[in-house]
Structure 1
């Protein structure tokens, strides 16, 4: 997947979560963002923001979640002593459940597929064409040198 197609796919996911109904709306990423922010404000009245803690395991997911939170004017933070994998934000539980987390999961899946494809292609081209998994063998592992 090339970068232009990736961007198109990411915008389509955002439009889906913004409730876009026409092709023109799907193209207008700025309008989609506004609709989600309006939904967030409406949800905040009925379901006030609470301190929500997210835990993300890898750097790509962390960057994505931080960007999504900031896109919706939600200020992410963490407390001194918390791990870098922890992100805290004041946000409505309903908004997280209905919009933020499902959108994050879809965007994350698309990005991870793309990054995996790019990584595999680069390794196969520059290092060795067989970048597949290792072989699995029967028997008992020998514990010794090498940390295994």
Structure 2
């Protein structure tokens, strides 16, 4: 998947969550955004915003989630002492459950797939080797006399 394909796919995901009905409408990302903003406004009028804490797995997931929040006019923050991958936001529960979190999950899966594909291609091209999985062993080797064994560096 090239960058343009990724952009189209991400826009189509937003359109899906906005309730786009036609293929032409799916291409209109701004119209989708407006429908989602209207949904957010309706959810805010129906129930109060509550504070949510999202603990995201890595920097890429955090960047994507923060961008999605800002796209819909929501203000992400974190408290002093929280991890950099923690994002706080005040938003109605209904909007989180029906739109924000499911949309984020699909966007994150799409972006992760693209990043994995690019990383694997670059690793293969630069190192001329596959970077995929590793062999799984059934048991750890026994420690030799004196309790020393192979070194296991921590990362």
**TM-score, length-scaled by structure 1:** 0.94
Q: Higher relative contact order by CA 8 Å / sep ≥ 6: 1 or 2?
A: 1
Gaps of 5+ in 2: 144-148
Gaps of 5+ in 1: none
Between stretches 119-128 and 23-32, larger displacement belongs to 23-32
| Structure 2 match to 1:146 | 152
- The structural deviation recorded for 1:29 is 0.7
> In the TM superposition, what whole-angstrom CA distance separates every residue of 1:58-111 from its partner, at most 9, and x where no partner exists?
111100000000000000000111111110001011100000000000000000
**TM-score, length-scaled by structure 2:** 0.90
For the residue of structure 2 that corresponds to 1:87, the secondary structure is strand
**Structure 1 residues 1-148: aligned runs within 5 Å:** 1-141=1-141, 142=143, 143-147=149-153
Between stretches 22-31 and 102-111, larger displacement belongs to 22-31
Between stretches 125-134 and 87-96, larger displacement belongs to 125-134
For the residue of structure 2 that corresponds to 1:4, the secondary structure is helix
Runs of 4+ aligned residues of structure 1 deviating over 4 Å after TM superposition are: none
- The structural deviation recorded for 1:144 is 4.4
> In the TM superposition, what whole-angstrom CA distance separates every residue of 1:102-139 from its partner, at most 9, and x where no partner exists?
00000000000000000000000101322222222333
Give the greater-gyration-radius structure (CA): 2
